[in-house]
Structure 1
Amino acid sequence: MDFHGIVISRNDYKERDMLVKILTDKFGIKTFFVRGARKKGFKLASAILPFSHGTYFGNVNDHGLSFINGTRELEQYQQIYSDIELNAYASYILGLVGAAFGNDEPLPGVWFDNIATAINLIDQRFDAAIVANIIEIQLLEQFGVKPFLESCVICGNSSGPFDFSETYGGLLCQQHWYLDLHRLHLDQRTIYYLRLFSVIDLKQLHSIKVKDVTKQHLRHTIDTLYNDQVGVYVKAKKFIDQMGSWDQILKK
């Protein structure tokens, strides 16, 4: 049985073997037992490197471990593999996918294509933080949180200015700001990108430039939504936050 896959991670298993986690187009995230993977000269060594991608074939089981027999059209996201920052953002996105969909469950709709497109954009050195933001916003629905960003949740007004209310789960127009004194008090540029990111098709993304101050506001806003309403922890996110602190120190 063949499938297209992106290698997420791998871990040593016993003396010579490995367990390799792969995001697949047909089966979701699966864990594969690879016998002899730690031996010198192992023929599938490149196929199980993190961020390798291509067509794999083997035995895929509904639950438990599956097995890889071979590959074709194998490539690697070279920029991601060699750049620690790009690696962190790509790992974060794949970690979010795992948290949103779990293991051994097919991804609904076009989600595999969305994630593959996001990883490819990062490898092409599109702004990795913005690509991650887009995935974060669009994944909220999979966590049971779908902010209403089309118009005011109270009156349906579709023209701003707006603010975001966690209490009401979406946008409030200025006439209804009084309903939530604890709304997020976002600037209109941040609101604009939140709305854009919720509907944008990554395949149509050719270029995007966002000012640093707006990127900071987006990061804070999305962190607030994830911390308050989702509550998932992805290990790579801690490293991304640390990188942000390093950037601030260097600028000073």
Structure 2
Amino acid sequence: MLYRIEGIVIRSMDYGEGNKIITLCTKSHGKVGVLVRGAKKVRSRHGAATQLFTFGEYVFFRGMGSIGTLNACEITEPNHTLREQLHLAAYASYVVELVDRALQDEESGGAMFDQLLAYMRAIREGKDAQVTTHIFEMKLCQAVGVAPSVDSCVVCGRTDELTGFGWRLGGAICSRCRPREHGRYVCSGNILKLMQVFIKTDLRRLGDITLKQETKLQLRDCMRGYMDTHIGVRCKSLQFLEQMEKYDLAPLPSMTEKEAEEQEGNGGD
């Protein structure tokens, strides 16, 4: 059967001497594997279609229960920038690996496809890559059913006197229940406010986001802890991302203290 599907390349690997197998995240067919014959050859007309992060329309033939074989591809967004800039490549590689690990073959992937496409456009256009990645992590948590409780205490359910975010317990914590979470696992009320914004944010309508460095570091620690605890998938690409952050290969943008406080005051949106 012949398929014509819009897809984003979330994995690309060599197969045999001159071929590649790509994994596409699609809106209509979830995660799909496609064999691209001769893709490694210098003059291959399909070489560009196998590059990570490429978004295009893929035409392939697939028999019952077999992997597809590419016939043609029209590239819509090559996303060269995401591969050429080190820090963008690191964040985008982590995100597509998350999607690859989260989606099952043929599983409906409409929501993930839309958010992934919007994510790549956002960081390509200059949105803060770290913060945008954390928003995408929240979208993925919602998609797989492990989103944190941010509007009520995760322990007792009360909605008032929320004082912080406990990433081990998985959500907001009120003043009465705060002792139930170890201090090292509790983030400040400012981080909770950001979480409340993130869970309602659609990446397709993302505005400019600017946070001061201290807040970004707290947010990073909180989201990494939450993802490790509740998703339980340690992506290989995350190791490189952490090394890049360790050696400051992606410097954080500077801003005045007043601007930072105003930005945090409205939730960073």
TM-score (norm 1): 0.88
Q: Which residue of 1 aligns with 2:255?
A: none
Map of 1:212 onto structure 2: 213
Q: What residue in structure 1 maps to residue 266 of structure 2?
A: none
Aligned positions of 1:127-206 closer than 5 A: 127-153=128-154, 154-158=156-160, 160-164=162-166, 166-167=168-169, 169-181=170-182, 184-206=185-207
Counterpart for residue 111 of structure 1: 112
CA shift, 1:60, in A, is 4.2
Counterpart residue identity of residue 241, structure 1: E
Partner secondary structure for residue 58 of structure 1: strand
> What is the root-mean-square deviation in Å for CA atoms of aligned residues?
2.3
In structure 2, the CA distance between the partners of 1:164 and 1:20, relative to structure 1 (3 Å rule), is same
Report the counterpart of residue 83 of structure 1 in structure 2.
85
Cα separation, partners in 2 of 1:57 and 1:211, compared to 1, 3 Å = same
The aligned residue for residue 243 of structure 2 is: 242
Summarize the alignment of residues 28-39 of structure 1 with structure 2, pairs less than 5 Å apart.
28-39=30-41
Q: Which runs of 5+ in 1 are unaligned?
A: none
Choose from 56, 64, 69 the match for 2:58.
56
Q: 5 Å matches for 1:5-44?
A: 5-44=7-46
Q: How many residues align?
A: 248
Question: Is the CA contact 1:62–1:104 (under 8 Å) kept in the aligned structure 2?
Answer: no
65, 68, 71: which is aligned to 1:69? 71
- 1:119-170 CA deviation, whole Å, 9 max, x = no partner? 1111112111111101112222444422111122424324543342633x32
Amino acid at match of 1:148: S
| AA partner of residue 139 (structure 2) | Q
SS in 2 for 1:191: helix
Identify the range of structure 1 (132-141 vs 234-243) with the bigger mean alpha-carbon deviation: 132-141
Q: Is the 8 A contact 1:31 1:64 kept in 2?
A: no
The 3 A distance-change label for structure 1 pair 247 and 39 is closer
- Percent identical pairs in the alignment equals 27
Q: Does the 8 Å CA contact 1:4/1:53 hold for their aligned counterparts?
A: yes
Question: Distance in 1 between the 2:122 and 2:99 partners?
Answer: 17
**Alignment partner of 1:189: what SS?**
helix
Cα separation, partners in 2 of 1:14 and 1:183, compared to 1, 3 Å: closer
Deviation at 1:181, TM superposition (A): 4.8
Question: Are the counterparts in 2 of residues 137 and 197 from structure 1 also a CA contact under 8 Å?
Answer: yes
Q: In the TM superposition, what is the alpha-carbon distance from 1:239 to its structure 2 partner?
A: 0.7
Residues 1:178 and 1:30: Cα distance change in structure 2 (over 3 Å): same
Return the offset for 1:61: 5.4
Mark the CA change 1:178 to 1:159 in structure 2 (over 3 Å): closer, same or farther. Answer: closer
- Per the TM alignment, residue 16 of structure 1 is displaced from its structure 2 partner at its CA by 2.0
Alpha-carbon offset, residue 76 of structure 1: 0.8
In the superposition, relative to structure 1, how do residues 62 and 4 fare at CA in structure 2: closer, same or farther (>3 Å)? farther
Post-superposition offset of 1:9? 3.0
From the superposition, tell whether residues 170 and 42 of structure 1 become closer, same or farther in structure 2 (CA, over 3 Å): same
* AA of the residue aligned to 1:112: F
Q: Deviations over 1:189-242 (max 9, x none)?
A: 211111211111112212000111111111111111122222102111111100
Tell me, in whole angstroms, the C-alpha distance in 2 between the residues paired with 1:25 and 1:87: 23
Q: Which amino acid aligns with 2:223?
A: I
Partner of 1:99: 101
**Conserved 8 A contact 1:5-1:24:** yes
